[in-house]
Structure 1
Amino acid sequence: MVGEKVLVVEDERVVARDIEKRLKKLGYFVVASVASGEEALQKAADLRPDLVLMDIQIKGEMDGIETAEQIRTELDIPVIYLTAYADEDTLQRAKVTEPFGYIVKPFDERDLHVAIEVALRRRLAEAAVRVALKKEKELSELKSRFWSMVVHEFRNPLASILSSAQLLERHGHDLVEERRREYLYLIQNSIRSLDSLLNDILHLSQAERQVLEFDPQPIQLESFCQQTIEEMLFSTGFSHQIIFNPQGSFKDVCLDQKLLWHILTNLLSNAIKYSPQGGVIYLDVICPNGEVIFRIKDSGIGIPPEDQQHLFQPFHRAENVGSIPGTGLGLTMVKSCLDLHHGEISFESEVGRGTTFTVKLFSSCRVPN
Structure 2
Amino acid sequence: MANEKILVVEDERIVAKDIVKSLQRLGYKVVASVASGEEALQKVAETQPDLVLMDIMLKGKMDGIETTEEIHKIFDIPVIYLTAYADEKTLERAKITEPFGYIVKPFDERDLHTTIEIAIRRHLAEAATRVALEKEKQLSELKSRFWFMVAHEFRNPLTAILSSAELLESYSHELTELKRREYFYLIQTSVHSLNNLLNEVLEFGKAEEGKLECNPEPLDLVDFCRDLVEHMQFSSGSKHRINFTNLGDCTDACLDEKLLRHIFSNLLGNAIKYSPQGSNIYLELLCENGEAIFQVKDNGIGIPPADRELLFQSFQRATNVGSIPGHGLGLTIVKKCLELQGGEIALNSEVGVGTTFTVTLPLNICVQM
Same fold (TM over 0.5): yes
User: Aligned with 2:225: secondary structure?
Assistant: helix
Q: Match for residue 19 of structure 2? A: 19
Q: Match for residue 181 of structure 1? A: 181
Q: How many residues align?
A: 367
The Cα offsets for residues 216-236 of structure 1, whole Å up to 9 and x where unpaired, read as: 111122222111111112222
Q: Match for residue 30 of structure 1? A: 31
> For residues 361 and 207 of structure 1, what CA distance do their matches in structure 2 show?
19
The sequence identity of aligned pairs, in percent, is: 63
CA spacing shift, 1:314–1:56, aligned 2, 3 Å = same
Q: Superposed, which structure 2 residues align to 1:150-161 within 5 Å?
A: 150-161=150-161
- Would the aligned equivalents of 2:222 and 2:251 in 1 still touch at CA under 8 Å? no
- Would the aligned equivalents of 2:16 and 2:33 in 1 still touch at CA under 8 Å? no
Amino acid at match of 1:351: V
User: Aligned with 1:197: secondary structure?
Assistant: helix
What stretches of structure 1 of length at least 5 have no aligned partner? none
Q: Match for residue 82 of structure 1? A: 82
Amino acid at match of 1:220: D
Amino acid at match of 1:349: S
CA spacing shift, 1:48–1:251, aligned 2, 3 Å = closer
User: Aligned with 2:285: secondary structure?
Assistant: strand
CA spacing shift, 1:341–1:109, aligned 2, 3 Å = same
- Would the aligned equivalents of 1:24 and 1:30 in 2 still touch at CA under 8 Å? no
> For residues 320 and 89 of structure 1, what CA distance do their matches in structure 2 show?
60
> For residues 248 and 66 of structure 2, what CA distance do their matches in structure 1 show?
73
User: Aligned with 1:294: secondary structure?
Assistant: strand
Amino acid at match of 1:34: A
The CA RMSD over aligned residues, in Å, is: 2.6
> For residues 165 and 3 of structure 1, what CA distance do their matches in structure 2 show?
71
Relative to the length of structure 1, the TM-score reads 0.89
Q: Match for residue 262 of structure 2? A: 262
> For residues 256 and 193 of structure 1, what CA distance do their matches in structure 2 show?
25
Give the superposition deviation at 1:86: 7.7
- Would the aligned equivalents of 2:31 and 2:47 in 1 still touch at CA under 8 Å? no
CA spacing shift, 1:250–1:71, aligned 2, 3 Å = closer
> For residues 75 and 211 of structure 1, what CA distance do their matches in structure 2 show?
38
> For residues 73 and 248 of structure 2, what CA distance do their matches in structure 1 show?
63
User: Aligned with 1:312: secondary structure?
Assistant: coil
- Would the aligned equivalents of 1:300 and 1:352 in 2 still touch at CA under 8 Å? yes
The Cα offsets for residues 43-92 of structure 1, whole Å up to 9 and x where unpaired, read as: 65676543221222232566534543554466443111112238888766
Residue 208 (1) aligns with residue 208 (2): yes
User: Aligned with 2:167: secondary structure?
Assistant: helix
Q: Match for residue 112 of structure 1? A: 112
Give the superposition deviation at 1:242: 0.7
> For residues 254 and 39 of structure 2, what CA distance do their matches in structure 1 show?
65
> For residues 230 and 279 of structure 1, what CA distance do their matches in structure 2 show?
17
Relative to the length of structure 2, the TM-score reads 0.89
Q: Match for residue 358 of structure 1? A: 358
Give the superposition deviation at 1:300: 0.7
What stretches of structure 2 of length at least 5 have no aligned partner? none
Q: Match for residue 239 of structure 2? A: 239
- Would the aligned equivalents of 1:216 and 1:366 in 2 still touch at CA under 8 Å? yes
> For residues 352 and 265 of structure 1, what CA distance do their matches in structure 2 show?
23
- Would the aligned equivalents of 1:32 and 1:43 in 2 still touch at CA under 8 Å? no
- Would the aligned equivalents of 2:6 and 2:28 in 1 still touch at CA under 8 Å? no
> For residues 218 and 63 of structure 1, what CA distance do their matches in structure 2 show?
71
The Cα offsets for residues 173-216 of structure 1, whole Å up to 9 and x where unpaired, read as: 33333333333332222222111110100122223334432221
User: Aligned with 2:358: secondary structure?
Assistant: strand
Amino acid at match of 1:221: L
User: Aligned with 1:142: secondary structure?
Assistant: helix
The Cα offsets for residues 229-259 of structure 1, whole Å up to 9 and x where unpaired, read as: 1111222234211101011112322111111
Give the superposition deviation at 1:279: 1.6
Give the superposition deviation at 1:138: 0.5
> For residues 90 and 293 of structure 1, what CA distance do their matches in structure 2 show?
68
CA spacing shift, 1:212–1:73, aligned 2, 3 Å = closer
- Would the aligned equivalents of 1:342 and 1:368 in 2 still touch at CA under 8 Å? no
Q: Superposed, which structure 2 residues align to 1:1-369 within 5 Å?
A: 1-2=2-3, 4-6=5-7, 8-23=8-23, 26-35=27-36, 37=37, 40=40, 44=44, 48-60=48-60, 63-65=63-65, 67-69=67-69, 71-72=71-72, 75-85=75-85, 94-364=94-364, 366=366, 368=368
Amino acid at match of 1:80: I
